[in-house]
Structure 1
């Protein structure tokens, strides 16, 4: 009996899976977002410009995306839990190495390497949940997983600035490494691979067959294109938030981290309300509402005369809107190719992180040409249009419209 064909476990048996994988997501997203509040600090430390330091986020995201086509088939062949635990162990090691970086170039290379192994955690965890939860419950299960994952994102943004101000920026990476190591240990001790699961041996031919199955679905290319666009519009902003707020209000990395962490709080609200949102709105209305809420959040952040602390609320709104849209995309991705779910979700993550990588470059260019207010408004317009257009061009499974 294959991993995808096994009978769905009971809700009680799913609980430890969600909790432990949520801890893995926490560790991964903590590592992912710790650099954003530190951009001005690292620019001073290494005598670099803000765009140069922000480009480190691009290196991480691009490496995360590039690793996905390889990590997906590996997870399908050697097992998803084993892949997660090994990647978390490497994530812990590389985070500690980053803490001892002697130069900006070394830090950039280490962060890029970190992006590759970080890519073997959240997408693979999503695929593992997809293997075990039926489609009717899947977005709800993913929403609960996201709650824990997003706490990590919020903690990474909020805590990195505070830790840096008291213990230096290197201490931030040591903390990230410790969290990854603990999560890896939890996977090994608590979770067990599914019994009687049959996995094809890892091979180039098998990987191509998996990806052929993914792209046999006519919805695949359009979904991935939408996710690249979404990632660009949402994740182009965070590397510049600290610099924008410093220029506006002269606040430091700890307060900038609180603003960025608002996105995570919005995600937690989404995770707690997922069942109600799925049942009351349905996928199509969720993407429309999410896009409009993100547009409003960014539009308000574009106003330079508002006090810095008001941006926390704007990013909470933005985060809630993002997960309304992205949670819908995630659930759709898990159903593209049930027999190659690890590969399908890996390419989904590849698309998202290509957007991660493209976004800061586009935002940097927009800031140069339009200034902060014009650049932010441009992104607000783009994400609002994406929300409105998505249900009109992409059939959404389970849609009520």
Structure 2
């Protein structure tokens, strides 16, 4: 186990000031990771023109990033459990900073794609490991609330990555976007090293192949694990298939540029901030089952509205704010459930959760591209709207949710 791994007996609650520092610093790490993750979406048309590629080819960079993020998780989870979650986060942020600078100097489409793929592995060692660290310190009754606060800062990074990248690209150039991302990642890594300290009473098992297998055996000993991970793959496919195509759809409909598209994509983050602020009220009033149901319905409604071509482009900001709120109602619940699958191997459990999400993240743009080809823009969006609504309806019926209201 790492410095933050849970023991069979829950540790004493940390002082409030210590927990607040943890949330703030890990939130800054999440900010850096999501800033890097989402900054490419508004730039898809720009990079297509820069490198002489199609929209679908450039959108596939998001698939490469997400696929690498997912593939790295089975390795990063055991590393975090054995070597330390804080050390893992700081190291991955340092690597992410260097790779962002490398992307800024990419001389070809192939180089940019390769760098972004490796960056996906590094980014995968930040947010899932941070979630596991929070899970180690917060009891289950408070965990979704603590994760909600962490998500607020993480989502601001998502918004900034989407909104700022378009603005910077239009006025300074797209390469400057990656320079900024590298600087942010480096600063967050330094904060982890300076502010956060390992728990003195934590137990660690040496990193080994057999130890990693034992951790994953503990995860899958819980019968809920396979079902939860499968649902998260579906969720990721339906939600993250859309963002790489938003800029192209808006450009086709209204001729808007990267900066306006970035504002629309940032709307998802704004909805997440609303969720983060209201997490305690939502958990106490609705409970996990009703939150997943409401989330699926809201996301389906938002996608259905976006399918209407006659709405002004700026209405999409409100539409994706609604979509973001619905997404975090569902996904925030999934996250909290994942932290409780295997308390003695929490880093591994959350790593597999992230692996499942980003498998869906990688699959989503491919499925959306196929749907656009088969059904056209409006039809493809409606197919995804129906899918996410059905997921929200199905989850409370097929997945036992810890803390559900009866």
Scaled by the length of structure 2, the TM-score of the pair is 0.98
For 1:8, what is the secondary structure of its paired residue?
Answer: coil
Detail structure 1 runs of 4+ shifted over 4 Å in the superposition: none
Q: Does the CA-based 8 Å contact 1:283-1:400 persist in structure 2?
A: yes
* In 2, Cα distance between equivalents of 1:38 and 1:304: 22
Where in structure 2 are the equivalents of 1:205-354 lying within 5 Å?
205-354=210-359
Q: How far apart, in 2, do the equivalents of 1:128 and 1:13 lie?
A: 13
SS in 2 for 1:395: coil
Alignment pair present for 1:107 and 2:112: yes
For residues 337 and 11 of structure 1, the distance between their equivalents in structure 2, rounded to whole angstroms, comes to: 25
The offset of 1:10, in angstroms, is 2.6
Q: Does 1:191 align with 2:193?
A: no
Aligned 8 A contact 2:4 2:137 in 1? no
Residue aligning to 2:6: 4
The answer to whether the 8 A contact 2:5-2:345 is kept is no
Contact 2:299 2:327 in 1 (8 A): yes
- CA offset at residue 7 of structure 1? 1.4
Offset at residue 2 of structure 1 (A):
7.9
1:385 aligned onto 2:367: no
Can you list the C-alpha shifts for 1:83-106, whole angstroms capped at 9, x where unaligned? 000000000000000000000000
- In structure 2, what is the equivalent of residue 395 of structure 1? 400
Root-mean-square deviation (CA, aligned residues, Å) is 0.8
Instruction: Name the structure 1 match of 2:102.
Output: 97
Displacement of 1:198 in angstroms is: 1.2
Contact 1:78 1:199 in 2 (8 A): yes
Task: Give the distance between the partners of 1:125 and 1:300, measured in 2 at CA.
Answer: 34
**2: distance between equivalents of 1:359 and 1:266?**
21
Equivalence for 1:15: 20
In the TM superposition, what whole-angstrom CA distance separates every residue of 1:319-345 from its partner, at most 9, and x where no partner exists?
A: 000000000000000000000000000
Deviations 1:352-389 (A, max 9, x none): 00000000000000001101100000000000000000
- Count how many residue pairs are aligned between Structure 1 and Structure 2: 401
Q: 2:182 maps to what in 1? A: 177
Unpaired segments ≥5 residues, structure 1: none
TM-score normalised by length of structure 1: 0.99
What is the aligned counterpart of 2:171 among 148, 152, 166?
166
Distance 2:5 2:35 in 1: 30
Checking the alignment, whether the CA contact within 8 Å between 2:5 and 2:81 is kept in structure 1 is no
Q: Is the 8 A contact 1:2 1:196 kept in 2?
A: no
